[in-house]
Structure 1
Amino acid sequence: MLDNEKIAGFIGKKILRLISLLILVCFVSFMLIQYSPIDPVRAYIGEMPVSAEHKAKLEEYWGVNTPPQEKFLNWAGDVLKGNFGISLIYRIPVTDVIKERFTASLALMAASWLFSGILGFILGIVAGMKKGTWIDKAIKTYCYVLAATPTFWLALVLLMVFSVYLGWFPIGLSVPIGVTAENVTFLDWFLRLILPALTLSLLGVAQIALFTREKLIEVLSSDYVLFAKARGEKGLDLVFRHGIRNVALPAITLQFLGFSELFGGTVLVEQVFSYPGIGQAAVAAGLRSDVPLLLGIVIVSACFVFFGNAIADLIYQFVDPRIKQQEASI
């Protein structure tokens, strides 16, 4: 049974950390954009000629001449009310853009997160069982190569091989061009999800596989496993009974701690495959000076990474008491 007081204290501490994190992230991001060469008025009107009177009204609306501190307080006040402003690119509320794009990215990240975790865990178990053999060396080499492979490069290779040369999968996007949302079939969506998810999955395998291998080797060298061997246990039965049970939770914890790398990889993969997710929206917002959307995405991404770390801390503290928690500054 979990201690309710400890859980309440844990949740309270995390809420305070989240609030302080968001305040810091919002302030730093806002000030960086404020002192950057981004001109929100020019970004809004583009190359369209406007009168001096119209431009003055837009400058007043965007607060060009307002002191930075006042602009931040006004913006923060609107954010607390749930108003993130209007996207300059899409001309709709930022919350609507983030909701639509993050939903698409969530499907991509969930698929790659699950696949990389399962595949990495299996490879780590096999490598740990076959320590020192050619199988172990092959898996380690594979993981080291993946760990050194740039995300965008692997995405381009998969795109060229499987979409351009072989023609097995569509080139980019999440739905066929010219097809409305209600007419998109599951197969259309799934085919366009495979290559981006595969790219993220292959890159995410290395860390979890190497970690699982080391933990399993450590467990199999422990005294209680040696005692189990003396009682006649061996092979897969020994590994399943004593090995997997002891390395599963640490491996899951590591997966949750990898949310930041997963989100960062998603930004690059979505750009290569033209996948309309939150990562592509973030790149577009940065390149086209969409300040409201960029700040909204910063807040959402910070919350996403924070909750991943919070789940990992929860596993550390309550689910597996054998794991010693080291306080991490978030």
Structure 2
Amino acid sequence: MTTLRHRPYNFSAGPAVLPEPVLRQAAEEMLDWHGSGMGVMEMSHRGKEFISIYEEAEATLRVLLGVPSSFRILFMQGGGLGENAIVPMNLSQGGAVDVVVTGAWSQKSLKEASRYADARVAASNEAGGHTTLPAPATWALRDGAAYVHVCSNETIHGVEMHTLPDLGALGCRAPLVADASSHILSRPIDWSRVGLVFAGAQKNIGPAGLTLVFVRDDLLGRALPICPSAFDYTLVAANQSMFNTPPTYAIYIAGLVFQWILREGGVAEMDRRAAEKSALLYRCLDESGGFYANRVAREARSRMNVPFFLADESLNDAFLAGAREAGLLQLKGHKSVGGMRASLYNAMPLAGVQALVSYMADFARRHG
């Protein structure tokens, strides 16, 4: 088998880097999974072989995040954008939904929820360019809202909620819904503060096509009549995510990633590494003498997605070309924001961030 040593460092925001041991194992099992004579992509989703893959993936995920028995774990399709519609179809009952807008993804959530419910902005950081987080005490939450939606890490704007809000302390009885797509499994989740968490897998878990949903039991059974059966959480839960054919290969890869995280020390170790890697990159930006800049308030900076800008944007193309030559890939910022962006997901090793920081320092010396 071709060696995977010397692979470039992939800083893509998603689909994103996967742990090298996972890729190696998947390659070895491609034609024959555990002597079954089949590759995982060829298996029936109802056969004993795939059921064992699914059950192990779910059990490992529940252990990693300490998911209480009162929450169902659903393996679904549609991505984070799909969940922006699926959540209100399941939880809103056509009533009020409060959305905290902190960047591009929560803006999409607001727009999509408005198709199925009375969705309104409870708080927004748009006036400041999505660079801060509105304090929960300032949120305008409505009595009787079906739920409150937040994006706990904004992939595009690089803003992260380092602590989930305690809605009960704000006098709000609505459940909190969190889109945790781009920092899932990088830090613990306080399950006492949420009713539902969802995450597209292609950012920090595995390949595109799989979406994880963690939903509290008491929130099942509320779907609107227009909700497609395949997206009805109650039906999906009752059928162990097999109501329709699930994304089998994506679940298999995700399961391998879950096992890798467990072997590496679990979510606590991912949390520690995220702090170390992001601190290294932010220190490079902050100490560059203005050559580079991150515009997000320090207390709101994401540890997963770090947008940054060159003071002289005429150097952008040269920066990206040099980065590619140095084996540093996918650093161009989102088209709606510009500049650069480095995503430091769990699978990105510290060595990759060290290589990026070294390149950035050298580029600044040559062009500053």
Kindly indicate whether structure 1 or structure 2 has the higher relative contact order, using CA contacts under 8 Å at least 6 residues apart. 1
Structure label with greater radius of gyration: 1
Shorter-chain-normalised TM-score: which range?
under 0.3
Higher fraction of helix: 1
